[in-house]
Amino acid sequence: MWYRSASFILDKQQNDAVAKLESRLISPTAAASSSMAETLQQQQNPKISAYYQTRAAHYGVVTSDWLAQAQAAVGRYPEDGVAEDLSSFRSPESGKTFSVIDEFNNWRKQPDLAEAVAAIRALASVIRSSEATTMMELEIELKKAADSLKSWDTTSISLTAGCDLFMRYVTRTSALEYEDFNSAKSRLLERAEKFGEISYKARRIIAMLSQDFIFDGCTILVHGFSRVVLEVLRTAAQNKKLFRVLCTEGRPDRTGLRLSNELAKLDVPVKLLIDSAVAYSMDEVDMVFVGADGVVESGGIINMMGTYQIALVAKSMNKPVYVAAESYKFARLYPLDQKDMVPALRPIDFGVPIPSKVEVETSARDYTPPQFLTLLFTDLGVLTPSVVSDELIQLYL
């Protein structure tokens, strides 16, 4: 389980108290949402992290029996419940039933759009389509929609953090500032769309901030596929900087192959490494660039499996490790060690049959402590790991 901050626990206690009050005031919508939950269950495999199902759909770099192997790999784990869409309601504009899960999935079909940004766009649509007549009703609808999205994939750190930050940012205003409810709702929608734009532009901001650290003739080691790291390298190439990239294969889903292909299209010199050749090649590396699934309170990161060992090798050889991560990935989490994480499972294809008595490690990510990281490039600025907790406090105030 995660070890969370005291502020998170206090907020949870307050939210639980509000939820109990809501249950007495609002009639249940279980009948309306049951059909949606059944449809979602048919489309989603609840035993596999939705992140990896999305990756398979977008990038197609996996074998045909990829999901079948994942099903077998996680068979020994207890079943996780499928998220119920508790925020379905009829839109006054179109007369159709609005579902935040359906809206989220529509946005998520865009391969270059981050999952958290898709959730932020979907939550903005909740405000736009809401039939609420009071601020309390609207905030309850938003909270239910955010809870539905977070339960859609409980292993996604950026999805949970993005929803939490959206709620903090958008509901920071008060209906008392305005003459009527419609004015307050317009203000909420304005803030929601502004937050969506800020989140969407984050990748570009990070790419611009990182350019001063990439110099001509340097060699950069990257791990797996990260859209924000790709944007950093693309911007450097467009600025006519001369550099080369060592790209790890990114087993088992081979995401490094996709990144190497994208860099080749940009005419960037790229060399593909097997994951176990990192230490062998580290002496020719000038810097390491990685993305992050989440940035935690300690200043460390949770990212694709193998990031921790790359950071260990880089630290021992005095190579800087740079992290490129959007601020909506800042999460109020405090893992103490590698096992102190909710498992995000992935399929493993060894190419040969594995005896049933052999246990296979299927965790998709690891935790890199802050002492092995040099700088974090974010849309909030260039941060040292020790500053992350201060930025988290500002974000969630």
Q: What is the pLDDT of residues 119-140, one digit of tens each?
A: 888 888 888 888 888 878 888 8
pLDDT of the residue at 205: 92
If residue 218 lies in a helix (H) or strand (E), which one and from where to where?
A: strand 218-222
Instruction: Let me know if 124 is exposed, middle or buried by CB neighbors in 10 A (0-12, 13-18, 19+).
Output: buried
| Cα dist from 150 to 123, 154, 160, 338, whole Å | 12, 6, 5, 23
Which amino acid is residue 115, in one-letter code? E
Name the phi and psi angles at 39, rounded to 5: -65, -45
Report pLDDT for 14. Answer: 53
Q: What per-residue confidence (pLDDT) applies to 319?
A: 95
Calpha distance 33→98 (Å, rounded): 11
pTM of the model: 0.70
Residue of 89 and 365 predicted with greater confidence: 365
Query: How many alpha carbons fall within 13 Å on the CB side of residue 220?
Result: 30
pLDDT tier for residue 179 given thresholds of 50, 70 and 90: low
**What six digits make up the tokens of 8?**
């998170």
Cross-strand bridge partners of residue 324: 377
Give the pLDDT of residue 338. 84
pLDDT band at 350 (very low <50, low <70, confident <90, very high): confident
Where helices occur in the chain by DSSP H, the ranges are 6-25, 30-43, 50-59, 66-73, 100-108, 115-129, 135-152, 157-170, 181-209, 227-238, 255-265, 278-281, 307-316, 388-396
pLDDT bin (cut points 50, 70, 90) of residue 3 is very low
Q: What is the pLDDT of residue 82?
A: 40
Res 225 pLDDT > 80: yes
| Mean pLDDT of all residues in 328-352 | 80
Residue 318 to residue 131: CA distance in whole angstroms: 58
pLDDT class of 75 with cuts at 50, 70, 90:
very low
One-letter amino acid for residue 213 of the chain: F
Q: What is the pLDDT of residues 307-330, one digit of tens each?
A: 999 999 999 999 999 999 988 888
Span of 114-118, 211-215, 278-282 with lowest mean pLDDT = 114-118
Confidence band for 23, pLDDT divided at 50, 70 and 90: very low
In whole angstroms, what is the distance from residue 296 CA to residue 369 CA? 9
Q: Is 75 exposed, middle or buried (0-12, 13-18, 19+ CB in 10 A)?
A: exposed
- Strand 97-98, strand 89-90: pairing: antiparallel
pLDDT recorded at residue 241: 93
Q: Residue 262 has which token pair?
A: 């994208």
Average predicted confidence (pLDDT) for the chain: 77
Distances (CA, A) of 95 to 36, 89, 103, 121: 17, 10, 15, 20
Closest CA to 184 of 100, 99, 119, 127: 127
Q: How do residues 139-163 score in pLDDT, each as one tens digit?
A: 888 889 888 888 888 778 888 888 8
